[in-house]
Amino acid sequence: MLIRHKSPLDIQPSEITSKSVYRDRRRFLATAAFAGIGATFAPLIGPASIALAAAGTKGRKLEGVIPGPFATDEDKTPYEDITAYNNFYEFGTGKTDPARKAHTLMPMPWKVKVDGAAGKPGVYDYDDLIRPHKLEERIYRMRCVEAWSMVVPWVGIPLADIIKRLEPAANAKFVAFETLVDPKQMPGQRFGALNWPYVEGLRMDEAMNPLTILAVGLYGEEMPNQNGAPIRLVVPWKYGFKSIKSIVRIQFVEEMPPTTWNMAAPREYGFYSNVNPTVNHPRWSQAKERRIGDFLKRKTLPFNGYAEQVADLYAGMDLSKFY
């Protein structure tokens, strides 16, 4: 794939109508949707009208968070939208299911198993794994394969810092991740929408890239359950399903690990899953995306706009084949 220079974005709603008027109109339509007279407009006004009440209040404030590198200067997606519109099949296949059902998850106490080709394997408490590191805020564009996107102010730590501490062996070429399996806490796991546990993986150089983080919060608060509490992966140049949630296992392996969506639909979801506007999903185009809250679509950027930081990781690879 040729890496093109950033193209001008499509006209934004803010260029047509003032943001205050636009947001007031959106809130009016959201209220109308609850009353049964605005359902026709729901796809245009975003998810807040559907699950805003279920998203709940913000969590505990995270102390000592410092600004991280690589932050975009684009407008952040409102907290209510980030927490009310999610893919988290462990709580259901609908976008609003996690906000309505994730209250059953108990994110503390939390343990993460580290095994495989690691110099320091073991079972780590959340505090032992996270507390030694400085928390950073990373404001990242996040792109979903269904052609919608957000700008999320994550709070987390570079995954590379964790990996260095765990001392992977020289033959560890990949990092594999696993989500909690507990149907009592995660009611979506009572059904066979996917094979549980949810598993994901990165090549070691992808995992060590400075953009890749383990996130423990957003908007300066602890991570909401529906967004992957208490620990999730964030890889901003890849489609969102690569950012596995509620991690309970990190494994260092020599061979490419299996990944949930590749096993479920290998024709549609590859291991790499880099944002690539020139390669369409079999059922829809990836050339444009709709930012949550926007009326109009915008052009999708190669590697989600992070080509300068990550394109060299894939030099010489056919990204229509290694998708």
Contact assessment for residue 227 and residue 99, using Cβ atoms and an 8 Å cutoff: no
Cα gap 289→101, rounded to integer Å: 28
SS3 (DSSP) at 276: coil
pLDDT at residue number 37 = 35
Residue 216 region, left (φ>0) first, then alpha (ψ -120 to 50), else beta? alpha
Looking only at the bridges linking them, the beta strands covering 288-291 and 148-158 are: parallel
pLDDT value for 54? 54
Segments making up each domain of the chain, as ranges:
61-314
| Residue 317: Cβ within 10 Å count | 12
Superfamily of chain region 61-314: Oxidoreductase, molybdopterin-binding domain (3.90.420.10)
The crossing angle, in degrees rounded to 10, of helices 48-55 and 19-35 is 80
**H/E segment holding residue 263:** helix 260-264
Query: Using an 8 Å Cβ cutoff, are 118 and 101 in contact?
Result: no
Q: pLDDT tens digits, residue range 168-202?
A: 999 999 999 999 999 999 999 999 999 999 999 99
Which pLDDT does position 70 carry in this prediction? 85
Which parts of the chain sit beneath pLDDT 70?
1-57
d(Cα 117, Cα 115) in Å, to the nearest integer?
A: 7
pLDDT of 94-128, one tens digit each? 999 999 999 999 999 999 999 999 999 999 999 99
Secondary structure of 134-179 as H, E, C letters: CCEEEEEEEECCCCEEEEEEEEEEEHHHHHHHHCECCCCCEEEEEE
Average pLDDT, the chain: 86
- This prediction has a pTM of 0.84
pLDDT attached to residue 51: 55
Q: What is the pLDDT of residue 35?
A: 37
Q: Which of 230, 232, 248, 251 is nearest to 240 (CA)?
A: 232
